[in-house]
Amino acid sequence: MASFNRVILVGNLTRDPELRYLPSGTAVAEIGMAVNERVKKNDQWTDEVNFFDVTLWGRTAEVANEYLSKGSPLLIEGRLKYDTWEKDGQKRSKVKIIGEKMQMLSGGGGGGGGGGGRSAPQRQPAASKSSGSGYDDYSSPPSMPPDDEIPF
């Protein structure tokens, strides 16, 4: 049987990123995200907030630490991971998100994104190419080829 484990979240950071480095030199950042959901209760629309812990790795972790702060709007794509551990003799567990792709979302210009003094890089034109490192270059996705060039 096939499996599929994919998560996409759009929300805001609940705290500044916490960056650390493993002995191997790999960067790891822990972030918290709040994601609102509009629900109708008693003929009134309200926001229900969900909180998620996200782990970012490598250059993505370093970029998050450099450009994001509490309140920053963000899109994360990743996968779910179930962690278990024991503390004070009690077994504990938690579902975390391993962030594999990150897109900083603009607050519309001057200070609207809750950047806390840090500024996000400007979006590059869609024609610019990434370095091939596999990390988001903050550019638009490439356009689809014409129908006669699609091989199916």
Quote the pLDDT of residue 120.
41
Quote the pLDDT of residue 149.
53
Question: Can you tell me the distance from the alpha carbon of 18 to that of 28, in angstroms, rounded to the nearest whole number?
Answer: 8
Question: Can you tell me the distance from the alpha carbon of 9 to that of 74, in angstroms, rounded to the nearest whole number?
Answer: 8
Q: What are phi and psi of 91, to 5 degrees?
A: -80, 135
Domain positions in the chain: 7-124
What separation, in Å, do the N-terminal and C-terminal C-alpha atoms of the chain show?
26
Each residue's pLDDT tens digit, 64-90: 999 999 999 999 999 999 999 999 999
State both tokens at 121: 């890089």
State both tokens at 48: 């229900």
Residue ranges in the chain modelled with pLDDT below 70: 107-152
Q: pTM of the prediction?
A: 0.67
Quote the pLDDT of residue 134.
43
Question: Can you tell me the distance from the alpha carbon of 105 to that of 43, in angstroms, rounded to the nearest whole number?
Answer: 32
CATH topology for 7-124 is OB fold (Dihydrolipoamide Acetyltransferase, E2P) (2.40.50)
Asked if 20 and 57 count as a contact pair (C-beta separation under 8 A), the reply is no
Quote the pLDDT of residue 1.
86
Quote the pLDDT of residue 41.
86
Q: How many CA atoms lie within 13 A of 132 on its CB side?
A: 0
Quote the pLDDT of residue 117.
41
Q: How many CA atoms lie within 13 A of 28 on its CB side?
A: 10
The burial of 105, by beta-carbon neighbours within 10 Å (0-12 exposed, 13-18 middle, 19 or more buried), is given as middle
